[in-house]
Amino acid sequence: MSYEKIMQKLGRSYNAGALVNQPISRRRFMKIAGVSGLALGIAPVAVAEGDAEGKKQGLTPLQQPSEFLQIAEDGSITIIVNRLEFGQGSHTGLARVLADELDADWSKVDAKLANAGDAYKDPLFGIQFTGGSTAIAHSFTQYRELGARARAMLLTAAAEKWEVDVSALSTNNGKITGPNGKEAGFGELAVAAMSQPVPEKVELKTPDQFRYIGKGVERLDTRNKSTGQQDFGIDARRPGMKTVLLIRPPWFGGKVESFDASAASSIQGVDQIMKVDLDRDSVGIAVIADGYWQAKMGRDAVKVEWQHVDDIDALPDTTKMAEQFTELLGTDGLKARTSASLDKEVAKTISADFTFPFLAHTPMEPLNALIEMTGSGENTRVDVWTGTQFQTFDQGAVAGVLDVSPAQVTIHTQFAGGGFGRRATPTSDYLADTAKVMKAWTAAGRTEPLKVMWSREDDVRGGYYRPFTMHRASIGLSDDGDVVSWDHTIVAPSILKGTAFEPMLMKDGIDSTATEGVADSAYDLPISVDVHHPVTAVPVLWWRSVGHTHSAFVMETLVEQIARAGGVDAVDFRRKHLAKHPRHLAALDLAVEKSGYGERTLPDNQAWGVAVHESFGSVVAHIVEVSMDGKNPVVHKVTSAIHCNTAVNPRSVEAQIQGAAIMGIGMLLSGAEITLKQGQVQQSNFHNYSLPRMPVVPEIAVYIVPSQDPPTGVGEPGLPPIAPAIANAMLALTGEPVTTLPIQST
């Protein structure tokens, strides 16, 4: 769902340039935060004298430079980034934006991630988070204004020092120059500048004045990551800490009946084994040891009896779920979109059912959190080191479990090795579980810090999957190929229901994350959409590009079938029915031009595949060249074009489209699914949960549509169109449409 539509649901007009001056109201924030029962609060923010003056002028903490900018005497600059960095490049991108307006010397710029704090909340949502491809889009104007304000304060400090008018001064590459050859580096004036009043209004550069924005650059974290020197959350350490592995129930919501820890307790390095409350009202066991290996050996040695389930066949089972969902496909659901049919006779019908499995996120760095609790009473302090996408929610969740105020909890944001949505859990499951273990630990009289770690098996079986989803479409065509009617039904468990986002993104019981990409399709076709949200015991969550992961596949493969039925070229059909959407056309035309589609002849055993889709405000077109190896597609080349408005760092945009495309290719692989039988997840690691590996990765050429408009999302939009583009090439080669993912190779 686009953020323009989110703003409409909030009852506001969408204006990216004005977001920074329109933070969400406290009343609405508390309403949002209160939905999931989290005890949320705002920690007081320490501000410099200049920022105190800024507050008098009506500036919020997220508009005040001293919270985001540190300038040392030697001129080195550290920019505080309000988002998690987990591979998407916002750590560099936002630093680049601020540095441009500041006129900083980029060679002296570094960045660090912000801890949980009032100043670092998203300017639109009023909570600190990273997700929905919003990092650059939402903070672009914010960081530009921060840089411009800091620059103005530096100029004022120089004018006072030299006793000249500000208009006689200029900045360039980290220096201020004035009359008679006067010159000073930013570091020389930093202290004086920060004592200046913060200007409420500043004039921003025009795009033709940008020095860094729009210019490709190596990311600030590239060298450390490529040389193994970057620390991630999993690397965090504290003196005397213990390592914790959890034994979770074999089905969601299960509880320990009894356990025998005698063998585990005898293993050297195992400290404590205790029963603990866990996510989703389950009860498990914490194995606490001196290190990971000791904890793992201890966990393997514990014998557990789980509480009896009267009807084990009633636990989640994906085979039975498919039967239930198929029945729902034949019934009327909630009306997500209604369109009138054309006044033409139906000469032909295209009907199809689509099935999409549960998917796990499987970031390379499994979930982890290090927690330390010191002091007592009002002096209690809780510190948590973790790579989280949801600092505000997690801060509140930890506080609620440990019965302290959120102001007493510090979330130290760490670099994360991927996430794809898993580190943005509205229930804060892995942080709440960490706090629950600490609560039991302190109740036993212990004080050492605890590092709760997830194994790969914990990660694959740990819940919060992309929802199992089914679609049914019945499309009526006239004898001249026009779409007369399009009846569409979606069956998908709701991600949003019961979370803090329900009031914002659900209307009339409809979860917009399930219908996005269909109910708001850009095609000028008479599409009517029903949706069902069956309740299952399987926890679900957004997965990179959320509902677009399945909706783009359905829409783009159906559009392909319609074009073929009418004898129309796939690109020409899309151009005709996207004529009112210039950004779609620009992306599609650029991909066509660069790929040679329609001009270049492929080998006899290869075919073109085309798909174009909008998500998170950006449009991506993929044109693929594919052959078949038995039932499996072989992708030889992908030509991609994205319209994301201003590309702050084109190199990051290229990397994100490539990464998203590779992840999307993985959706097709045999074994890329999570299945359940009698409540238990059948997969456990990469031997039976498929991910794309190097041999299946094709050449991916990425092109960016030039634009000077405010940036839109980049992290996710490259994923949705890739699988349907490949499926469309497969249709050309085999004559059979692909309607079920993953593709079964046998």
Residue type, 410: T
- In this predicted structure, the answer to whether residue 40 has a pLDDT above a threshold of 90 is no
Determine the average pLDDT of the residues in 468-494: 97
Q: What is the mean pLDDT of residues 361-377?
A: 97
318-359+464-734 domain in CATH 3.30.365.10? yes
Average pLDDT in the 361-365 region? 97
Distance CA 514, CA 546 (A): 8
**Interstrand relation of 483-491 and 527-532 (parallel, antiparallel or unpaired):** parallel
Q: What is the pLDDT of residue 8?
A: 39
Mean pLDDT value of segment 277-297: 97
Q: Residue 16 pLDDT more than 60?
A: no
Q: Is the pLDDT of residue 37 over 50?
A: no
**3-223: CATH topology:** Aldehyde Oxidoreductase; domain 4 (3.30.365)
Tell me what pLDDT residue 746 has.
57
| Omega cis (within 30) before 250 | no
Q: What is the percent of the chain where pLDDT is above 90? A: 91
Lookup: tokens for 95: 């630093």
Can you tell me the distance from the alpha carbon of 741 to that of 721, in angstroms, rounded to the nearest whole number? 14
Mean pLDDT of 412-435: 97
Q: What are phi and psi of 701, to 5 degrees?
A: -100, 125
CB atoms within 10 A of CB 217: 16
The residues, any chain, with a CB within 8 Å of residue 29's CB and separated by 6 or more, are 126, 127
Residue 29 has pLDDT above 70, yes or no: no
Which tens digits make up the pLDDT trace of 547-576?
999 999 999 999 999 999 999 999 999 999
Instruction: For the chain, give the mean pLDDT.
Output: 92
- Whole-prediction pTM value? 0.92
H/E stretch holding 635 reads strand 632-643
How many CA atoms within 13 Å lie on the side-chain side of 522?
23
Give the residue-averaged pLDDT of 17-46.
31
> Lowest-confidence range among 131-145, 493-507, 696-710?
493-507
Beta carbons of 146 and 68 less than 8 angstroms apart: yes
Question: To which H or E segment does residue 329 belong?
Answer: helix 318-329
Q: Is the pLDDT of residue 36 over 80?
A: no
Supply angle C-alpha 345, 348, 353, rounded to 5. Answer: 125
Which pLDDT score, from 0 to 100, does residue 42 have? Answer: 20
Query: For 242-264, what is the mean pLDDT?
Result: 97
CATH class of 233-309+367-453: alpha beta
- Within 8 A by CB and 6+ apart from 15, the residues are none
Are 473 and 558 within 8 A, CB to CB?
yes
Partners of 275 in beta bridges: 285
Q: State the virtual CA torsion across 546, 547, 553, 555 in degrees, nearest 10.
A: -150
The reported pLDDT for the residue numbered 57 is 60
Residue 120 pLDDT > 70, yes or no?
yes
| pLDDT score of 538 more than 60 | yes
pLDDT at 32: 33
Q: What is the pLDDT of residue 58?
A: 77
Residues 6+ apart with CB under 8 A from 378: none
Tell me the DSSP string of 405-467. Answer: -GGGEEEEE---S--TTTT--TT-HHHHHHHHHHHHHHHTT----EEEE--HHHHHHS--BBP
Nearest residue to 702 (alpha-carbon basis) of 638, 659, 611, 640: 640
Give tens-digit pLDDT for 414-425. Answer: 999 999 999 999
Exposed, middle or buried by CB within 10 Å (0-12, 13-18, 19+), for 523?
Answer: buried
Q: Give the Cα separation of 181 and 582 in Å (integer).
A: 50
Instruction: Report the number of secondary-structure helices (H) and strands (E) in the chain.
Output: 20, 28
With DSSP H G I counted as helix, E B as strand and the rest as coil, what are the percentages for the chain, rounded to 5? 35, 20, 45
Tokens for 447? Answer: 């004080």
Q: Among 122-126, 419-423, 430-434, whose mean pLDDT is lowest?
A: 122-126
Among candidates 327, 386, 318, 324, which has minimal Cα distance to 356?
318
Domain ranges for the chain, please list them.
3-223, 233-309+367-453, 318-359+464-734
Q: Are 666 and 690 in contact (CB under 8 A)?
A: yes
Q: What is the pLDDT of residues 199-234, one digit of tens each?
A: 999 999 999 999 999 999 999 999 999 999 999 999
Are the C-beta atoms of residues 92 and 653 closer than 8 Å to each other?
no
In this prediction, residue 505 carries a pLDDT of: 86
pLDDT for 694 beyond 60: yes
Residue 112 CA to residue 129 CA, distance in Å, equals 16
Task: Select from 553, 572, 556, 554 the least CA-distant residue to 481.
Answer: 572
Residues 6+ apart with CB under 8 A from 62: 20, 23, 82, 118, 119, 120, 121, 123, 142
C-alpha distances (whole Å) from 430 to each of 26, 81, 297, 387, 459 are: 27, 23, 22, 11, 11
Q: Does pLDDT of 268 surpass 80? A: yes
Q: What Rg, from alpha-carbon coordinates, does the chain have?
A: 27
pLDDT tens digits, one per residue of 609-622:
999 999 999 999 99
Q: What is the pLDDT of residue 43?
A: 25
Checking if the pLDDT of 597 tops 90, the result is yes
pLDDT computed for residue 290 by the predictor: 98
pLDDT tier for residue 97 given thresholds of 50, 70 and 90: very high
Q: What does the DSSP assignment read for 557-569?
A: HHHHHHHHHTT--
**Half-sphere exposure of residue 681, counting CA atoms within 13 Å on the CB side?**
27
Q: Which residue has the higher pLDDT, 48 or 372?
A: 372
In the 8-state DSSP scheme, what is residue 571? H
Task: Report whether 527 contacts 484 (CB < 8 A).
Answer: no
Report whether pLDDT(14) > 90. Answer: no
Domains 3-223 and 318-359+464-734 fall in the same CATH topology: yes
Work out the pLDDT band at 504, boundaries 50, 70, 90.
confident
612 near 619, Cβ under 8 Å?
Answer: yes
